[in-house]
Structure 1
Amino acid sequence: MNRTTATLAASTTLIEQSIRQYCRLLKMPTLAAQFDRLAQTALREGHSHVQYVEALLAAEVEERERKAVLRRIQEARLPRVKTLEEFEFSQSPLQASRLADLAGGGYIERAEPIVLIGEAGTGKTHVAISLCVAACRQRRRVRFTTAAALINELVEARAENQLSRALGRWERVEVVCIDELGYVPLADVGAELMFQVIADRAEKAALIVTTNLPFSEWGQVFPNPRLCKAVLDRVTDRAHILESGDTSYRFRRTLAKRGQKHE
């Protein structure tokens, strides 16, 4: 390497270090990581300097959006990540087109509830999680919980004189998903706290509920008839009611696997 080449290389290294420093100051880590690779691509493919800058900024925005969605999913506290693309619609009465429309997020804008009714193993939780993931991808604030976990959290907050603060946190979430409503009867205190969460969202924010009970049997969950009527009124008003059926495709899948093993 002659002196001129060495000087040029040293100058290039200083410039690259300077670019990385600017990126740190501007908090643009993706640009710092990719500017050199994209520069080589631009030279090789004959792109203009404007196209190069566009590619850099696009890479930065894309990575920020990916991280923002990931952060929303983590904040949602989903038990696992599932999507509608993974759902076995061939084994369910649920319609792919209707769920795809809901995944578009219009129900969030209109503060409309979604109620998934069906027996265990019919895909209610899978669909609910999928709708939550779709909302996270739209950068919505989402929170998933089971009915039992929600009641436990609120009862503890009440015991610590923090109930108003806890209810406020739930009220600020754009999409609340309450899973497994109906599997465990609620005591009077729990029923009242559940009503508060549901009532606070009525016509103001989206709610997703999964339940194994038809509406006629919700009295098993909310023993107080007046409270039960008030909950039903708010949950069903302008709601999208989806029935996942009474035959567990999860159980059918298990039987099919066993049958294959014995063949």
Structure 2
Amino acid sequence: MKTSEITTHDKKILRLSELCKRLKMRAAYERFCAILTDPDACQMPLLDCVIEGLEYEVEKRDSNALNRRLKEAKICLPNARPDTIDFSIERGLDRNQAEALLTMQWMERHQNIIITGAAGCGKTFFACALTNQACMKGKTARVVRIPLLLNQMSASHQIVETYFKKLKEYKNVDLLVLDDWGIGQLDARSREDLLEIINERYMYASTIVTSVLPVSKWAEYINDPTYSDAILDRLVSVSHRIEMYGASVRQMEQYGGVQKS
């Protein structure tokens, strides 16, 4: 009788494994097994047992999805998070404005953020903190330096399929961070690529731009009246602006508070 009961139990466990595997619910299966092998937990009401297993599955899936979003975002400063922003440094980052932006409501309205200021004052750090927050809220994101993006787009022109694949990659993310806007020079193809990406995202997705150049110098950087009007209209007209200033936080950290001469 005892052998028969064990065999029946094992068959049921095997069947549970098969069903969970088919439904791709490995985490739920692990939790069900843990409950069944715990003398106290196995006395739980059936409904509580089912809910606990499914909640564990959801938690695992949410965690895996978050890790996947963070990995695909390619955040260059992964430690930049809302809780690691230092508001004690005087650099033009208003706490009230920053906290309002960290609610990410501007993304629901498909608005942009433009962060300008001298090198090292924390532009990229705040942009990465916003990106981390976007990922936490279930949004897809991508951080890329403008020189790298333009090099990738230029290389992709050699094969049509590659170009459209790369364009789709930057078009479809919920949040695109264009870091180091204004570095280097733009040729005709670079202007076309930038406008294509920005135009595809306009009113459909949000973009963050960080730049050492003030917005008043962007038309000069783009160096073509037609393209500058089109690009600036799509980026600036629906943007929140942050103008940062002050000593380089990066240099202060690297040189113990003494600015490099």
What TM-score does the superposition give when structure 1 sets the normalisation length?
A: 0.85
Change (3 A) 1:34 1:45: closer
Q: Say if 1:12 and 1:211 are closer, same or farther in 2 by CA, change over 3 A.
A: same
**Residue 60 of structure 2 is aligned with which of 60, 63, 68?**
63
8 A Cα contact 2:92 2:242, kept in partner: no
Q: Are 2:116 and 1:117 equivalent residues in the alignment?
A: yes
Question: Matches of 2:231 and 2:104 in 1, distance apart?
Answer: 24
Contact residue 181 and residue 209 of structure 1 kept, 8 A: yes
Q: Distance in 2 between matches of 1:42 and 1:88?
A: 49
Q: Which residue of 2 aligns with 1:234?
A: 234
| Aligned equivalent of 2:10 | 13
Q: Which amino acid aligns with 1:235?
A: L
Change (3 A) 1:246 1:221: farther
Give 2:140's aligned amino acid. Answer: R
1:88 aligns with 2:86: yes
Partner of 2:138: 139
Q: Is the 8 A contact 1:42 1:52 kept in 2?
A: no
Q: Relative to total residues, which structure has the larger helix share, 1 or 2?
A: 1
Tell me if 1:75 matches 2:75. Answer: no
Alignment length (residue pairs): 256
Q: What are the residue-to-residue correspondences of 1:173-252 with 2, within 5 Å?
A: 173-252=173-252
Cα deviation, 1:192-228, whole Å, max 9, x if unaligned, reads: 3212212222222211111111012224421223422
Contact 1:20–1:32 under 8 Å retained in 2? yes
Instruction: Check conservation: 1:42, 1:48, Cα contact below 8 A.
Output: no
State the match for 1:261 in structure 2: none
Q: Would you say the 8 A contact 1:182–1:220 is kept in 2?
A: no
Aligned partners of 2:127 and 2:197: how far apart in 1?
A: 18
Return the alpha-carbon distance in structure 2 between the equivalents of residues 42 and 65 of structure 1.
Answer: 29
Q: What is the alpha-carbon distance in structure 2 between the residues aligned to residue 39 and residue 80 of structure 1? A: 43
Q: CA contact under 8 A between 1:38 and 1:55: conserved in structure 2?
A: no
Counterpart Cα distance in 1 of 2:154 and 2:12 = 59
Farther off after superposition, 197-206 or 173-182: 197-206
Q: Separation in 1 of the partners of 2:139 and 2:132?
A: 9
Deviations 1:129-183 (A, max 9, x none): 2222222222222222110111112112223234445333422222111111112
Give the Cα separation in 2 of the matches to 1:41 and 1:24: 22
Matched AA of 1:35: F
Structure 1 stretch 193-202 or stretch 59-68: which is displaced more? 193-202
2:34 counterpart of 1:37: yes
Inter-partner Cα distance in structure 2 for 1:35 and 1:26: 14
CA distance in 1, matches of 2:169, 2:253: 39
Match of 1:151 in 2: 150
CA distance in 2, matches of 1:43, 1:24: 26
Gaps of 5+ in 2: none
The one-letter amino acid paired with 1:89 is F
For the aligned residues, what is the CA RMSD? Answer: 2.6
2:198–2:231 CA contact under 8 A, matched in 1: yes
Distance 1:160 1:26 in 2: 39
Tell me the percent identity. Answer: 24
Distance 2:238 2:250 in 1: 30
- Where 2:251 maps in the other structure, the secondary structure is helix
Distance 2:132 2:142 in 1: 10
SS at match of 2:207: strand
Map Cα deviations across residues 5-30 of structure 1 (whole Å, 9 max, x no partner).
x5544443333233222211111010
User: Does the CA-based 8 Å contact 1:39-1:52 persist in structure 2?
Assistant: no
